[in-house]
Amino acid sequence: MFSTNPFDDDKLREECGIFGVSGADGAAALVALGLHALQHRGQEAAGISSFDGVQFHTHRAMGHVAGNFDRPEVIEALPGAVSVGHVRYSTSGETALRNVQPLYAELASGGFAIAHNGNLSNALRLRKDLVRTGSIFQSTSDTEVIIHLVATSNYRTLLDRFIDALKQVEGAYSLICMTPEGMIACRDPLGIRPLVMGKLGDSVIFASETVALDVVGAEYVRDVEPGELVIVKGTELRSIRPFTPNAARPCIFEYVYFSRPDSISGGNSVYSVRKAIGAELAIESPVDADLVIPVPDSGVPAAIGYAQQSGIPFELGIIRSHYVGRTFIQPGDKVRHLGVKLKHNANRALIGGKRIVLIDDSIVRGTTSLKIVQMMRDAGAAEVHMRIASPPTRHSCFYGVDTPERAKLLAAKLDLGGMTEYIQADSLAFVSIDGLYKALGEAERAAVRPKYCDACFTGDYPTPLTDQDETRSVDQLAMLEERVG
């Protein structure tokens, strides 16, 4: 199976999406709808768990929500007024059904189902310690570490055991947990990964993005705050904040690419922020051209902003087909190469002889940009100028984003001139880090304690990276021993 989208292989993958419902008859059906709206956050696998007051029920499957959870018999096998679901990319752990969430375990206090968006940056260290003391793991997911920490905690109540577990982990997490006592939703103390709360009648709903609330007809209430735990029993809820207060550092890439443009994140319209980024890009990096063309679909809002600010007409110079599946069996290299045009094709009648500005959200490996520039050249473009609605991605993410190792990031290997030559564009420019912050209403990026996590651009990681540091130390020791030997 090969991807037919020429742009799929050069995007940062959107970690995962989670959705939970408490106090609604047939809760699993609502969860399935919510997961449809979050499908862009994880297209590898999906799962739903429910609780009927006596028993937990779970269905997990590889692939999309559609085809797995749109069958009546599947939803009917997930009864109860409480339910939680998850869509996944494998940012941590292998691609296998045993890693598909929600993960479920029988604890001394009863059943425990957990759905996690994020990544624990000390999971390997914790896992080694747990295995050493007798824990037996059933998956390779970092999420299972939390289950074992809860199970082995010495505190008496389940809530206290859960808090004890969270105080031992590092990194980024938004969690929705389902227990016989109720539902718990929480974010890490820095709020790196998003989580919002809504209401549908008397029912309480949690989701990774507000668009999932819209789809089920729920009202957005507020964001779950960084370091906050919201405990729900039926339709009653209470909030606690057991962690030392910290200045929040939500992921800035949610605005650049991850979130759907029709979502509200941190009180900001994602669509409006992306347009504002495009406008900043036009101010910082103008170019004399005839057309502004977005790379569909993620480049569209920024391209509109660039066009409005620059006065250069906006046009759809790349047409995307929405009737091709994500994968397609393609025999032979020649047919596979031609398959990239199944989803995207140049609008030749528009492009011929024109000087064009291509707007995309980011450059990761650079393979995407090279293909797009070549597509425009083949369609007869006189000049091709690339403008990117984020700063250069020079660093890997360890907070739940599937980032290539740093050696494969184009901006970590080449300077601007080298990148321009690599993608074969007439010019290339990125929005500055201050310009990105300006689009979010900040005067500039603060040198100390910036408002967002922007580590993929700056290398400023807001939490310890225990596993990464230990791996680096082991690798350096091995290299030293090899030299000595």
- Rounded to 10 degrees, what is the CA torsion of 403, 407, 411, 415? 180
- HSE-CB at 152 with a 13 A cutoff on CA atoms is 19
List, in sequence order, every residue forming a beta bridge with 239; answer none if it has no partner: 230
171 and 399 Cβ atoms separated by less than 8 Å? yes
75 and 58 Cβ atoms separated by less than 8 Å? no
* Cα–Cα distance for residue pair 131/133, rounded to 1 Å: 5
Tokens 């809860």 sit on residue = 150
The catalytic residue positions are: 16
* Cα–Cα distance for residue pair 13/1, rounded to 1 Å: 18
* Cα–Cα distance for residue pair 340/359, rounded to 1 Å: 19
390 and 440 Cβ atoms separated by less than 8 Å? no
- Rounded to 10 degrees, what is the CA torsion of 338, 339, 344, 348? 20
3-state secondary structure of 144: helix
Helix axis angle, 416-423 relative to 367-378, nearest 10°? Answer: 50
Give the tokens for residue 298. 């993620």
Residue 207's nearest CA partner among 378, 54, 38, 394 is 38
Query: Which helix (H) or strand (E) covers residue 85, if one does?
Result: strand 82-88
101 and 47 Cβ atoms separated by less than 8 Å? yes
Residue 193's nearest CA partner among 145, 250, 238, 246 is 250
473 CB-near residues (< 8 Å, 6+ apart):
none
> Would you give the end-to-end CA distance of the chain in angstroms?
45
* Cα–Cα distance for residue pair 334/376, rounded to 1 Å: 20
Give the tokens for residue 105. 């375990």
Helix axis angle, 123-132 relative to 143-152, nearest 10°? Answer: 40
- Residue ranges of alpha helices (H) inside 111-157 are 123-132, 143-152
- Residue ranges of alpha helices (H) inside 226-359 are 253, 270-284, 300-310, 333-338, 348-351
